[in-house]
Amino acid sequence: MKVGWKACPECGALVVSGRFKADTDVRKPFDVQKRFFDALVNNDLVAAQEMLDKGAKVDGARESESELSPSEASHGTTALWCACVGGEYEQAIWLLDRGANPNHIYFTGESILMTVSGCTVNAAKKKACLQIMDELIARGADVNYRNGRLYVIELAGSPEAQHLLKRHGAKGRAIHIEV
């Protein structure tokens, strides 16, 4: 099956295409997990809590688990990953308070901490992403996770992210970044 990137019809974010079963009807009504993500996209934490109460999984993949293989579903785009990448500090804390895993590994092999450290290159999100990094580390995110070739610090997008990781004992070499 060929895999590529396409824009999500719901939110416009880039998503992996080609991972769905041929008979999947993408127009079917939203399930609880999708409604959970919709509530978070709209920053409606009351509705998101209702979906958790109805069975949505705080660490569940964005895509319905019935549409993905078990391996993909357990390594998919979680709500915490979306909040972190979006620089949504309050939402990330809310999810962590409800048991979201700060060491979730995305199907690309990156940890959430790796991904958010790379987002610090974006000036508009830098402060929030640094705060999120600090909170993830405080809640047990592994600063020395290695995705097979790179340590977290080697993917950090800013000197500030590299310094934060070093302060917390990160291994690996900090790559000099021009600002």
pTM of the complete model beyond 0.75 = no
Whole-angstrom Cα distance, residue 126 to residue 147? Answer: 23
- Structure tokens, 67: 């549409």
**Where do the domains of the chain lie, and which CATH numbers do they carry?**
30-167 (1.25.40.20)
**20-60 residue pLDDT tens:** 443 334 433 348 888 898 899 899 999 999 999 998 899 88
Torsion angle, CA of 54/58/61/63, rounded to 10 degrees? 30
Residue with tokens 């290159």: 121
Whole-angstrom Cα distance, residue 92 to residue 99? Answer: 11
Q: Residue 120: how many CB atoms within 10 A of its CB?
A: 25
**118-177 residue pLDDT tens:** 887 778 888 999 999 999 999 999 988 887 667 777 777 888 888 888 899 888 776 655
Task: List alpha helices for 9-153, DSSP H.
Answer: 32-41, 45-53, 70-74, 79-85, 89-97, 112-118, 126-138
